[in-house]
Structures are given as structure tokens and as C-alpha cells.
Amino acid sequence: MVFEKISIVKGRKYKSLVRGYRDKKGKVRHQVIKYIGAVEPVNKRRNPNAGRKPRLKVKELTKKGRDFIQKNLKNSKSFIKDRARIIHLSSEGNTVKQTCQKLGFHRPKIEKIIKQFNGGKLKIFERGKSLGKPRRITNEERAQILQYLNTEPEKLGLHFNNWRHKKLSDYAKKQGIEVSPSQLGRIIKQDEIKYKKKTSWLYSNDPNFAKKNLL
């Protein structure tokens, strides 16, 4: 007769396959045929995915998102096309490693784009941040700017003769008025202001230079 037997060794339970038989005197004896092992193994089988980060992939695309990605796979702008290809491959089930191999991009770039897409969807296809509308100039600031423009720079302690958009913008900012050169151009155009350019002085070693310029 063969059966399983549990024995306790140093406080731990072990299982073995045993055969029962009678000896010559008729007593029942047990013979171990095979040791099966501990009933509760010390080292439990570890989950192969334990401790690993979940696989990075794009979230499920909507129909609008799929159409947009498909449309831009051949976009003339590489900035948009590269992102569309990365999102497309990830949505098809490719891992980050597989996407790297197919496109030849570095892993950090692909991971960054997938994370940005999952956070902001199609916004990753917009290059840079929109600067928005320029700051609105108040009537008082506008009047002050025009006053600067109608004043000779030298009288304001500046070391140049004529105003330029950039110079006037820099001076206005020092006075606490935030205005860009392009805004100044629009203000000047709206008020139909014309620059009065000064004739630069010419210098020469010729003793008759002044007389010649007066003729």
C-alpha cells in the first residue's frame, strides 16, 4: 500500500511518498519511496512582474484622435510627423523598446512624448507655447509714449539722436511702461506720426570743410 505521509522535522512539515508493508515478524513497517518536499516552501514563487513598472503606452484613442494621427503620419513637418508615428506605433501595441528600434529614436524622447500625449492629448502637436495677445496699453501710457517720441532723445539724457522702435521700447520699459517694438509700430501707424530724421554731422580734416558745406 502506497500513501503520502507528513513528517515534522525541526518544526517544519515535509511530505513524502511511503509504502507500507509487514516484516517477517508481521509488524507494519513504512518505507520511504520518494521525498516530495516541504508542505509550505520557504521561498515562495515570486511574481515575474513584481517590482516592475507598468508598461508605458498611449491611452485609448478616440475616433477623432485616430483620424488626426493617421492624417499626420506623412505631414511635411517632421516635428508633427515624428510625434504622430510614435503615438501610432504605441497605440498599435508596440512597446517603447520596439518603437525605438523601428524609428531609431532615443528612449527618453519616446517616453516623454507618450507621457505628454496621455496628459494633454493633441496639444503635443502644438510647437511651443502661444504668446497670446500683447499687453494692452492704457491711454495714459500711450500719451506718455507719444510724449517721449516727440522729445529729442538728447534732452532725456540719451546718447543718440533719433528714436527707433527698439530704443523707444527699452526707454519706456525703464520708465515702467511695458511695450514691445511691434506695439510701438502700431501706435505710431495709428497716430500717423512721421519720424523727423536729423542730418548727421560730417567731420573732415579739410580746413575748408565748413565753407564747402555752406555753399
pLDDT per position as a tens digit, 146-184: 888 888 888 888 888 888 889 888 998 888 888 888 888
Identity of residue 176:
G
In a domain, 56, yes or no: no
In a domain, 74, yes or no: yes
Instruction: Identify the pLDDT of residue 194.
Output: 52
In a domain, 196, yes or no: no
What is the 8-class DSSP label of residue 189? H
Instruction: Identify the pLDDT of residue 196.
Output: 47
More reliable by pLDDT, 161 or 135? 161
CB 60 within 8 A of CB 68: no
Q: Are residues 155 and 117 in the same domain?
A: no
Average pLDDT score over residue span 55-64: 86
Domain boundary among 125, 154, 176: 125
Residue 175: CB atoms within 10 Å: 11
Residue 61: CB atoms within 10 Å: 18
Domain that holds residue 6: 2-38
Q: Are residues 74 and 106 in the same domain?
A: yes
Residue 146 phi, psi dihedral angles, 5° rounding:
-65, -35
DSSP bridge pairs for 4? 17
In a domain, 156, yes or no: yes
In a domain, 8, yes or no: yes
Q: Is the pLDDT of residue 86 over 90?
A: yes
**Residue 74, SS3 per DSSP:** helix
Report percent pLDDT > 90 for the chain.
10
- The total number of structural domains in the chain stands at 3
H helices of the chain, in order, are 63-71, 78-91, 96-103, 107-120, 139-149, 165-174, 181-190, 209-214
In a domain, 167, yes or no: yes
Mean pLDDT lowest among 113-122, 151-160, 203-212: 203-212
Q: Are residues 67 and 32 in the same domain?
A: no
In a domain, 178, yes or no: yes
CB 190 within 8 A of CB 139: no
In a domain, 43, yes or no: no
**pTM given for the model:** 0.40
Instruction: Identify the pLDDT of residue 37.
Output: 77
